[in-house]
Each structure stands twice: as structure tokens, then as C-alpha cells.
Amino acid sequence: MLTELKQIVSGSCLLNEPMSRHTTYGIGGPADAYVIPKDTDDLRTVLSYARRMNIPTVFLGSGSNILVSDLGIRGIVISLKKEFSELVFDKNHVSVGAGVMLGKLVKEAAKHRLTGCENLIGIPGTVGGAIFMNAGAYGQEISVHLTSLDIMNENGSVNTFSSESIKFEYRHTSLSPESIILRAEFQFPAGDIETIQKNMKETGLKRKSSQPLNFRSSGSVFKNPDDVAAGYLIDKAGLKGTRSGNALISEKHANFFVNTGNANAKDIINLIHIARTSVKNKFDIDLELEITLLGFNSEIISA
């Protein structure tokens, strides 16, 4: 059935594609189809095909905040990375496609002497994924200088929304999973180039010293509860170094569960259950996932 999709898509369309190739974890079974549409019309074609054939769709950026099940994803995975790559500066105003890597936006903004996003350097992923997650680090969040978003809905129509009309919270937005971000506009304040460069350098050093960047991961597994770091709670529960198969709760940062080589999703899920149960028993705190689980049945997700 999906072979027809391959014929009608102008961009790339891979059938039965292992998601381990498209996640920073390097974990995940095959998606029925993995599509990178070439442009807005191509994306519309994919969505209309999926609707006509009653096939579910899932949107991805570069898969840096995702854990995909070992059984993969039934349906069409659509990623905007590599395409949707517009990046235009006009004084303080920036228009950027959702497929642009966040690091590129940050570096280009610095070159244009604009401040407000330099501390986001080192967060992997696309601008679309960062906005959907309201990514942030070291006191900055992507939504702060965002002014508007172009969003396509499941019927293929595109609307522009002001950032005030969308609720941005810690690692969460009010956007529905059916909304696909195509383009964003930002208005960054002018800054001092030396301070911007210093901030970027310091951020890079902080990341290197506190995060296990030599292993594949999805960054922080859990959101930080109100006034305490999830990593602190997992550490104090005595879980650093806990293993399940080839997955490990990092000794360097207890909220990073890393793939030490050929780990599978089941290993990470085991560690998630261990951490949640131990932290609940010791501190009576419920840890909420920051990463998105794809392709799992709802019992695993809520268990």
C-alpha cells in the first residue's frame, strides 16, 4: 500500500526504515514509512494520502528527544529536517524554517550580534523540534524571543499564529500533536558580540563537564519537578551506574540514560521504571517524562 506513497512524494520516502538511524539514541525498530517532504506542497500530499488511506502520521525533527519502541512505528513518520531550511536575517528580525538545525540558528544569530539564544548552543535538534518542546538551557528558552509561527494542520491548511496565542511552559507547548510547525519568526535584541561569544563558550564547557556527551542519549529523560533536579533525585536514590542490558544511568548525569552500544528500547524502559519507582518510594515524587515515547502501547507508557 505504501509503495504508492513512494511514487507521489517528491522528497525522500523510505519504507520499513529503522528508526535507530533517525534518533540520537540510535534505538528504534522500523517505521512503515519515513518521509522528508521537499516543500509545503509535498507535505500536503503526504498528509492528504495518509488521511485518504487512514494511516496515522507522526512528526519528527531530528529525533533527539525521542525513544522509539523496538517494534517501530506503524504509520508514516514525517520529518522536516534537511528541507524547510530558510534562514533570513533582517536587522533584529529572523525568519527560519522548521528544518534548520537549532545550532545553526544560534551561531548565525551570534554572527549578526543578536543575543537571547546563545545559551541554547549544544542542544541538538531542529528549530521545529525545539519550539514544540520549548527547549531551554542555562536560563534561556526558545520561546522567549519568538514572535510568530506558521503551522500546517492535518487538513493541509497553513495559518500564522502569534507567539502570544500559544502557551509555552517548561518543556511543553499548547500545540496539538497534529500541528506541524513550518516556519518561525524571532525578534532578538542586539547584543555585545564578546559577551555573546563568552556565553557560548561557557555553555559549551558546562555541557562538556556535566553531560555524558560521549554516549548516545536523548538528553534528560525526565522533566525537573518543581524545585529540584530530576538528576539529583535519581542520584540520591542511589541509581547512578544502574544497568539494563546495554543501557546505563549515567554516572556523570543521573537524568541521562545512555546507550552504551546496541541498547534496545526495552532496556531504557526498564531504567525508566526503576527510576520512577525508586524516586517515588524514597521522596514521594512522581517523575514526568521529558522524552517522547513513540510506537509503544499505552500500558507501557503509563505503567
C-alpha cell of residue 39:
516543500
Q: Please report whether residue 129 would count as binding ligand FAD according to CB under 6 A.
A: yes
Provide the residue type at 289 as one letter.
L
Binding mask 230-269 for ligand FAD (x = CB under 6 A): ----------------------------------------
Contacts with 247 (C-beta within 8 Å, 6 or more apart), sequence order: 257, 258, 259, 260, 263, 264, 267, 268, 270, 271
Q: Where in 94-123 is the site for ligand FAD (CB under 6 A)? A: 98, 123
Smallest gap from residue 284 Cβ to ligand FAD (A): 26
CB of 43 to ligand FAD, least distance (A): 10
Q: Which is nearest to 83 in space by CA: 116, 38, 50, 115?
A: 38
Pick the stretch among 35-43, 176-184, 198-206, 244-252 that binds ligand FAD (CB under 6 A). Answer: 176-184
Please report, in angstroms and rounded to a whole number, the separation of the first and last CA atoms in the chain: 34
C-alpha 76/C-alpha 14 separation (Å) is: 10
Which parts of 177-236 interact with ligand FAD (CB under 6 A)? 179-181, 211, 213, 217-219
In this complex, which beta carbon is closest to ligand FAD, that of residue 97 or of residue 242? 97
Active site residues: 171, 220, 290
246: buried, middle or exposed (CB in 10 Å: 19+, 13-18, 0-12)? middle
Q: What is the 3-state secondary structure (H, E, C) of 119-138?
A: HHCCCCCEHHHHHHHCCEEC
2-10, 58-66, 232-240, 267-275 -> range binding ligand FAD (CB under 6 A) = 58-66
Query: In one letter, which amino acid is 185?
Result: E
Size of the site for ligand FAD (CB under 6 A): 33
Which single residue brings its beta carbon nearest to ligand FAD?
A: 61
Quote the CA–CA distance of 90 and 68 in Å, as a whole number.
Answer: 39
Residue 76 touches ligand FAD, criterion: CB under 6 A: no
Q: Quick one: which of 127, 154, 134 has its CA closest to 62?
A: 127
Of residues 263 and 278, the one with the C-beta less far from ligand FAD: 263
Hey, which residues does 97 pair with through a beta bridge? Answer: 183
**126 is a contact residue toward ligand FAD (CB under 6 A):** yes
Span interacting with ligand FAD, options 108-116, 128-136, 196-204, 237-245, rule CB under 6 A: 128-136
CB of 300 to ligand FAD, least distance (A): 17
Binding residue for ligand FAD, selected from 20, 45, 64, 259, defined by CB under 6 A: 64
Q: What is the Cα–Cα distance from 254 to 230, expressed in whole angstroms?
A: 8
Residues that bind ligand FAD (CB under 6 A): 24, 59-66, 80, 98, 123-126, 128-130, 132-133, 135-137, 171, 179-181, 211, 213, 217-219, 292
